């Protein structure tokens, strides 16, 4: 069966420090991968998605970047965190076509202080 | 632009009572519609989805949703709520012909009182 792992579960970082959040998927190949951010009362905002290795699409201009160095690995990064980067970050994988749902990781709670 | 609106930010319901969560979408074509549930501090789990066909769809945990094209709505219902249904619920619409992205509503938090 397929599983998705996200880590760390929680993270407290000072303003200006770098960030690296990792997401890996097991049990499937060539998944579509997604990074969402959830801010209180604002639902889920799609940040990045990837349909293949090295293929990254950004949905909103921001302080973050994403990379997909391997088929089942998706990394969210920042060189210098801002206070506004605080939130709950969710990684998800899915298949081409909406017949299969998105499968979400358990998320990373990031607090920038 | 495609969008999803969940008018109710927070709903409180008594255990055993019925629940209805509203969702309205704005999308030019026939939408792919979803409801997800999120327990505190967790990821999201799919409750149900609508693509075509019967406009009343059944999901997991006793939930159902009805697609009404004339009202651009996809409301989620449960006849009798259990305490374990306390969570945040998200409506989403599938967008993009090649990218298969989901656009989510802001969510509705459900509190269940004894």
The answer to whether the CB of A85 falls within 8 A of the CB of A44 is: no
The answer to whether the CB of B106 falls within 8 A of the CB of B6 is: yes
- Out of A43, A59, A98, closest to residue B32 by CB: A98
Tell me the pLDDT band of B71, cut-offs 50, 70 and 90: very high
Which residues, 6+ apart, have CB-to-CB distance to A61 below 8 Å? none
CB atoms within 10 A of CB A48: 24
Spell out a b/e string for B52-79, using b for 16 or more CB atoms within 10 Å of the CB, else e: eeeeebebeeebbbbbeeeeebbbbebe
SS3 state at B85: helix
pLDDT, residue A75, reads: 97
SS3 state at A89: strand
Hey, is the C-beta of A90 within 8 angstroms of any chain B C-beta?
A: yes
Residue B44 to residue B37: CA distance in whole angstroms: 6
Cα–Cα distance list, A69 to A47, A56, A74, B17, B76 (Å): 18, 11, 7, 49, 39
Hey, is the C-beta of A97 within 8 angstroms of any chain B C-beta?
A: yes
Ranges A59-63, A99-103, B11-15, most confident: B11-15
Tell me the pLDDT band of B99, cut-offs 50, 70 and 90: low
Q: What value does the mean pLDDT of chain B take? A: 90
* B6: pLDDT strictly greater than 80: yes
Q: Convert the pLDDT of each residue in A69-102 to its tens digit.
A: 999 999 999 999 999 999 999 999 998 776 678 8
Beta strands in chain A (DSSP E): 3-7, 10-13, 19-26, 32-38, 44-52, 55-58, 65-70, 73-78, 87-94, 103-104, 108-112
Q: Which of B38, B74, B99 to mutate to test the interface with A (most CBs of A within 10 A)?
A: B99
pLDDT, residue A43, reads: 81
pLDDT, residue A81, reads: 96
SS3 state at B105: coil
CB atoms within 10 A of CB B11: 16
Q: Convert the pLDDT of each residue in A14-55 to its tens digit.
A: 999 999 999 999 999 999 999 999 887 678 888 999 999 999
Contact between A32 and B46 using a beta-carbon 8 Å cutoff: no
Q: Which of residues 32-61 of A touch B (CB under 8 A)?
A: 32, 34, 36, 41-46, 49, 51, 57, 59
Give the residue carrying structure tokens 């993009």.
Answer: B96
């Amino acid at each position: 069966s397929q599983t998705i792992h996200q880590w760390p579960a929680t993270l407290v970082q000072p303003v200006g420090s770098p960030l690296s959040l990792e997401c890996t998927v097991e049990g499937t190949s060539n998944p579509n991968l997604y990074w969402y951010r959830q801010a209180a009362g604002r639902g889920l905002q799609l940040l990045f998605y990837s349909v293949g290795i090295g293929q990254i699409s950004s949905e909103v201009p921001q302080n973050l970047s994403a990379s997909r160095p391997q088929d089942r690995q998706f990394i969210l990064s920042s060189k210098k965190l801002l206070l506004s980067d605080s939130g709950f970050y969710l990684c998800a994988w899915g298949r081409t076509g909406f017949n299969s749902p998105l499968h979400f990781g358990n998320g990373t709670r990031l607090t920038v202080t | 632009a495609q969008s999803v609106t969940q008018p109710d930010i927070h709903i409180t319901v008594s255990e055993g009572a019925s629940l209805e969560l509203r969702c309205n979408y704005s999308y030019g074509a026939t939408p792919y519609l979803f409801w997800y549930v999120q327990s505190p501090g967790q990821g999201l789990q799919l409750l149900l989805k609508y693509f075509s066909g019967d406009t009343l769809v059944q999901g997991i945990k006793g939930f159902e949703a009805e697609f009404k094209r004339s009202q651009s709505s996809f409301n989620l219902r449960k006849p009798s709520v259990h305490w374990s249904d306390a969570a945040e619920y998200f409506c989403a619409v599938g967008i993009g012909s090649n990218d298969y992205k989901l656009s989510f509503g802001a969510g509705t938090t459900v509190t269940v009182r004894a």
